[in-house]
Chain A
Amino acid sequence: MKKKPVIPDRPAVWGGLLALLLTGLCALCFRQDFSGWERRYLTGLPQTVSLTDWTLDDDLEAELSDQIPGRRQLVSLYAQAQALTGRSAQLDAWPLKDAFLEKPVSGSVQTARRRVEQMKALAGDVPCLFLTPPTHGMLRMDEMSALRRAVYEEEEALYQQLTEDGAFVPLRDAFLSLAAQPSQPLYYRTDHHWTLYGAYLAYRQYCAAAGLEPAAMEEFTVSEYAPFYGTTYSRSGLPFARADTLVCAEPKANVHLSLPGEGLTADHLIFPEEAETYDGYAVYLKGNHGLTEITAPDAETDQTLLIFKDSFANCLIPFLTRHYGRILAADARYMDGSFRDVLKDAGKVDHILFLYSLDSLVNDTSITRKLR
Chain B
Amino acid sequence: MIFSSFTFLLLFMPAVLLIHRVLPDKAKRPFLFAASLLFYGWSSPVWLLLLFYVMAADYFGALCLTGSPARKKALLILFVALNLLPLLYFKYSAFFRDTLSSLTGVYLPFDTPALPVGISFFTFQGLSYLIDVYRGKVRVQRSFMLFGLYLSLFPQLVAGPIVRYADLEAQLAAPPRVTDVGMREGLRRFCTGLAKKVLLADAMGQLWGKMNASFPSAGLIGAWLGLMAFSFQIFFDFSGYSDMALGLGRALGFTFAENFDRPYRSLSLTEFWRRWHMSLTGWFKEYVYIPLGGSRKGAFRRDVNLMIVWALTGLWHGAGWNFVLWGLYFGVLLIIEKRWVYQKPWSERIPAFLRRGLTYLIVLLGWGIFSGKNGLWGALIGRQGLGSAQALLDCAGFLPLLALCVLLSFLPTWRRVPEWLKRAAAPVFMLLCLAALASQGYAPFVYFQF
- Which residues of A approach B to under 8 Å, CB–CB? 2-3, 5-6, 8-10, 12-14, 16-18, 20-21, 23-25, 27, 51, 54, 56-57, 60-61, 64-65, 68, 71, 74-75, 77-79, 81, 85-90, 106, 147-148, 150-151, 153-154, 237
Contacts and interface: CB of A to CB of B under 8 A. Distances in A.
A339 B7 CA distance: 46
Given A74-B438, A81-B432, A154-B389, A20 B9 contact: yes
A61 B187 contact: no
Contacts of B7: 57, 60-61, 64
22 contacts: A3-B420, A9-B180, A17-B14, A17-B17, A20-B9, A21-B14, A24-B9, A51-B46, A57-B1, A61-B442, A64-B6, A65-B6, A65-B437, A68-B10, A74-B435, A74-B438, A78-B435, A78-B439, A81-B432, A86-B398, A147-B389, A151-B393
A151 B391 CA distance: 9
Contacts of A85: 400-401
| Interface-centre pick from A8, A16, A54 (highest chain B CB count, 10 A) | A16
Interface in B277-324: none
Task: Tell me if B's interface is mostly helix, strand, loop or mixed.
Answer: helix
Contacts of A74: 434-435, 438-439
B435 A75 contact: yes
A13 B251 CA distance: 10
B101 interface: no
Contact of A54 (B1, B44, B430, B442): B44
Contacts of A237: 439
A75 B42 CA distance: 27
**4 closest residue pairs by CB, A with B:** A24-B10, A150-B389, A64-B6, A9-B180
A221 B226 CA distance: 55
Contacts of A151: 389-390, 393
Contact of A154 (B390, B398, B436, B438): B390
Contacts of B44: 54, 57
B51 to A, nearest CB: 15
B354 interface: no
Nearest to B42: A57
Contacts of A79: 439
Given A13-B187, A20-B14, A78-B432, 18 more contacts: A6-B420, A9-B180, A9-B181, A9-B184, A16-B430, A17-B14, A24-B11, A51-B45, A51-B46, A57-B44, A61-B5, A65-B437, A74-B435, A78-B438, A78-B440, A86-B400, A88-B397, A154-B389
B434 A147 contact: no
A6 B418 CA distance: 14
Given A74-B434, A85-B401, A86-B398, A21 B389 contact: no
Interface string B409-450: 000000000011001001100111011111111100000000
B396 interface: yes
B448 to A, nearest CB: 13
A13 B389 contact: no
A320 to B, nearest CB: 37
Given A21-B11, A54-B45, A57-B43, A10 B180 contact: yes
A77 B436 CA distance: 8
A25 B6 CA distance: 11
Contacts of A81: 432, 435-436
B394 interface: yes
A87 B398 contact: yes
A299 to B, nearest CB: 46
A14 B439 contact: no
A54 B183 CA distance: 33
Nearest to B180: A9
B18 interface: yes
A81 B436 CA distance: 9
Nearest to A21: B14
Contacts of B440: 78
Contact of A64 (B10, B17, B43): B10
Contacts of A24: 6, 9-11, 14
B206 interface: yes
B214 to A, nearest CB: 11
Interface string B173-206: 0000000110110010000000000000001001
B131 interface: no
B394 A89 contact: yes
B183 A9 contact: yes
Nearest to B181: A9
Given A65-B441, A86-B396, A87-B203, A13 B14 contact: no
Interface in B2-33: 5-7, 9-11, 13-15, 17-18
Contact of A68 (B6, B17, B423): B6
A12 B42 CA distance: 29
A20 B399 contact: no
B438 A68 contact: yes
B397 A86 contact: yes
A147 B18 contact: no
